[in-house]
Each structure stands twice: as structure tokens, then as C-alpha cells.
Amino acid sequence: MKNIVLFGPPGAGKGTQAIILKEKYNLVHISTGDVFRFNIKNKTVLGLLAKKYMDQGDLVPDQVTINMLKAEVEKNSNTNGFIFDGFPRTQSQAEALDEFLTLKGMKINGMVALEVSEDVLVKRLLERGKTSGRTDDTDEGKIRNRFNEYNTKTAILKEYYTEKGCYHGVYGEGSIEEITERLVDVFNTL
């Protein structure tokens, strides 16, 4: 079983690569954003709770997010593994994920991070903003603020997974195919 944390800043290509990799390795792709949208749209207990925090402009507490992801793992217990996309975002989330997976007899095999220069990311996001409908992809100031947020919060996770011996940085620039090839090289070692 392969359980991978796919990581990278906004615009790094995580979603695109996750779709390719889940097919290649027959894994379940768990995107935190998709899980949130599903739970909110379907008015699950966790979705209503998350929406309450979001409507107040507050961050959804780690435990609510973790419980949503646990439910996704439980729903897909007969799989070859998972690609976690957008989770964990904090060390406490990483520790909670490790605890949960250990109880299930599983572990994170690797954190694979797409590494892309900020200037390339800005171009990608501004281009995506022309068609995505996401207002946060159309303002360079907001985009750079998201990178700052990502860099300050995720440096801890890079250290966390490096200490566990399972951090793998992958150069995330070039064509989709070139990036996929680099990711496959790493996935095949996990």
C-alpha cells in the first residue's frame, strides 16, 4: 500500500499530477478542498460544522478536517493507497494522520513536494485565473500573500517529513509529462 502526501504551493500542479498518478498506481486521491465541498454541499454533520466556522471567517479546526479525512479513508478501505492533496497543512495534522494510519496498520510512505519558483507560479495562477473563476487567482498581491502563508506554515512539515526520512522534493517546472516522469521516478522508490 502506498500512502503519499502530495505537496506544493498554489499553482504547483498537484491536482493535475494527482489525477495522473492515481490512475497509474490505482490510488484514491483525497483532495481536502473536494472533501470540504462535498461535505458542505451534502450538509453532513462535519460539513455543517465546517461551514459554521468558514461563515464566521475562522479556520476550520484541525479535528474537523481530520475527521472528514478519516471518513474518506474509511470509505475507501479496499484500495492500494491514497494520495493526500492539501493535507496535512500543520504538524499537528501530520501527527494526527500518522496516528490514524498507524491504527489502520498503514503509514505515509513519502511526502512528495513539487518545487516551483514563485515567478513561474504567479504566471500559472494568473493564467488559471482567466478561466477558473477564482478571484484569488487574478490578483498578484493576493497570490504572493498565499505563497507567504504557504512558506511560513509548510516549512515545518518539510522538516517533519525530512526527520522521518520520507521527504522528496521534485522539480515541478517543465511540461506536464516531464514533471510526471520525475514524480514516477520517486513514486517507484516508495
CATH number at residue 75: 3.40.50.300
Known catalytic residue: 182?
no
Q: Which residues contact 38 (CB under 8 A, 6 or more apart)?
A: 47
Known catalytic residue: 37?
no
- List 123, 146, 158, 164, catalytic entry: 146
- List 128, 144, 158, 164, catalytic entry: 128
- For the segment 61-95, what is each residue's pLDDT rounded down to a tens digit? 888 989 999 999 999 988 999 999 988 988 889 99
Name the domain count of the chain. 1
The sheet with strand 28-31 has its strands ordered as 28-31, 81-85, 2-7, 110-115, 167-171
Q: How many CB atoms lie within 10 A of CB 164?
A: 14
Q: Which residue is it, cell 494568473?
A: 126
Q: What is the mean pLDDT of residues 115-122?
A: 92
pTM value is 0.86
- Please state, in angstroms and as integers, the Cα–Cα distance from residue 173 to each residue in 8, 12, 56, 134, 177, following that order: 12, 8, 37, 23, 10
Enclosing domain of residue 23: 2-187
- List 24, 134, 142, 153, catalytic entry: 134
Query: What is the C-alpha end-to-end distance of the chain, expressed in Å?
Result: 10
Known catalytic residue: 14?
yes
pLDDT over threshold 90, residue 36: no
- List 2, 14, 22, 124, catalytic entry: 14
